[in-house]
Every structure is written in C-alpha cells, then in structure tokens.
Amino acid sequence: MNPQLRLVSREGVEYVARFVYGGDPYGPGGRLVNEDRRTLVEFVRPRLGGDSFVIAVPAEELAEEGEFGYRKEVEDLALPARQADRLRRWIASPASVEDAVVVLVGDDDEIDKARVALAQLQFDPHQESNGVAAVDRIRRLPPQLVVVGRQVRGLEPLELVRRLSDARESCGVPVIVIGGDAAAAREAGAALHVPVPPDYRALVNSAAELLELV
C-alpha cells in the first residue's frame, strides 16, 4: 500500500495525500502525461455518496512555502504551517510520520482518558465522535487499531463494530470496546472488551499487543 497522510485544510476540509511512485504515464485517451515519471502526490478529497475529487501534483512542487505553509490550486486546500511541515517531512521520509495508527471513536470520558493513556505508545490517535463518519474514515484508510467508547454520536457502539467487521476494507482491523456487555461486544466482532471503569495500564498493554509492539 502506498504511504498515506491525512491533512485538514484551514477551512476544515479533509484531504488524503498519497504517493504515486512514478505516476501513470497515460492520461485520458492514451495521452502521455508525466513522461519523466516524477514522483507524484495525489490529493484525494472524499465527497458524500462515495465519490472523490483527485488531483496529482509533483512532489518537488510541494516543498514551496506560502503564507500559510503550503497552498496549491486544489480547490480550497490551504494548510496551516504545522500540517504543511508534516507534509514536507512525509514527502522526504514517509516512514517518519505516523498517521492515525489508532482511531478512537466516542465522546465520553473513557475515550478522552484512553487518548492520554495511548500517547505512551508514541502515537497521536485520531478521534471521531460521530459513528457514521468514523466508519467512513476507517473504511477509506484503515488504521491498525480502533477503540470504541460508550457514547458514539449517530450510531450505537456495537452497530459500529458490526459495520467495521462486515466491511472488506476494515474487517481485519482489531477493535477494542470500552463498556457495555462483553459477550455482545465479542459477538459484534470486537477483539477485546474492556469493562468500566477501565484499567488504562492494561488497555495500553493490550493495545501494544494488538499493534504487535511487544
């Protein structure tokens, strides 16, 4: 799988940047494009209904700094300086930038505390409060681990787990469920159930095992 990086513009629009090594030398109608096979970076903006807007830009052009760090004529893509720096570092060395290895889903105290606890693994988990948005994100760019809390907007926690388990793109992603019924969580497809109140040290240890860090 090509390296991928999630970015959010100053306007709050989410993009996914992904390498296209050498690019595709042929365009519509067999027209030659990118004949020198430079390394391209695709910017993908998901749209409602499953459609996406995609544009490819030569990687060397993305090193240019602008007023806000980086700006390209890609709809409304304008990155804050911090994210622009992440993009430049990722282009220079994709392995140097971890991106959403862990996704937290929920809007409750347990998830907030889990985020702090999981920082011990040197990851910056991405958090989604809306279950429908979380399922869409996880299917598009599956992380290595998902942690689901007790309060999820727009979707029951176990229904979210079922949808992830049933989807081809996300069925292999282990899910930890915090709270609720342990048997029901396992039946829905969870890899692990954590009772409330959680033992956060045990949660971190379990996450490390599922991420194959130990």
Give yes or no for a contact between 98 and 120, defined as CB atoms under 8 angstroms apart: no
The yes-or-no verdict on residue 182 having pLDDT over 60 is yes
pLDDT bin (cut points 50, 70, 90) of residue 199 is very high
User: What gap in Å lies between CA 98 and CA 121, rounded to an integer?
Assistant: 12
Q: Dihedral through CA 200, CA 108, CA 102, CA 187, nearest 10?
A: 80
Gap between the terminal Cα atoms of the chain: 24
Strands lying side by side in the sheet with 52-58: 4-8, 14-20, 40-46, 52-58
The yes-or-no verdict on residue 149 having pLDDT over 50 is yes
Label the pairing between strands 4-8 and 70-71. unpaired
Q: Dihedral through CA 123, CA 129, CA 130, CA 132, nearest 10?
A: 30
**What is the rounded average pLDDT of the residues 173-196?**
96
What one-character DSSP code corresponds to residue 167? S
Note the pTM of the prediction, 2 decimals: 0.60
| Most confident stretch, 73-87, 133-147, 158-172 | 158-172
Strands (E), the chain: 4-8, 14-20, 40-46, 52-58, 70-71, 78-79, 102-105, 126-128, 145-148, 175-178, 192-194
Compute CA distances 212 → 122, 137, 144, 157, 194, whole Å: 14, 23, 10, 25, 19
Complete domains list, the chain, with CATH = 4-96 (no CATH), 102-210 (3.40.50.2300)
pLDDT bin (cut points 50, 70, 90) of residue 214 is very low
**What is the rounded average pLDDT of the residues 38-50?**
74
pLDDT bin (cut points 50, 70, 90) of residue 72 is low
pLDDT of residue 113: 93
Lowest mean pLDDT among 21-30, 117-126, 161-170, 197-206: 21-30
The three-class DSSP label of residue 124 is: coil
pLDDT bin (cut points 50, 70, 90) of residue 160 is very high
- Long-range contacts at 64-73 (CB < 8 A, ≥ 24 apart): 68/10, 72/43
pLDDT of residue 195: 95
pLDDT of residue 65: 56
**What is the rounded average pLDDT of the residues 59-77?**
62
The yes-or-no verdict on residue 117 having pLDDT over 50 is yes
In the beta sheet, which residues pair with residue 15? 7
On average, the pLDDT of the chain sits at: 81
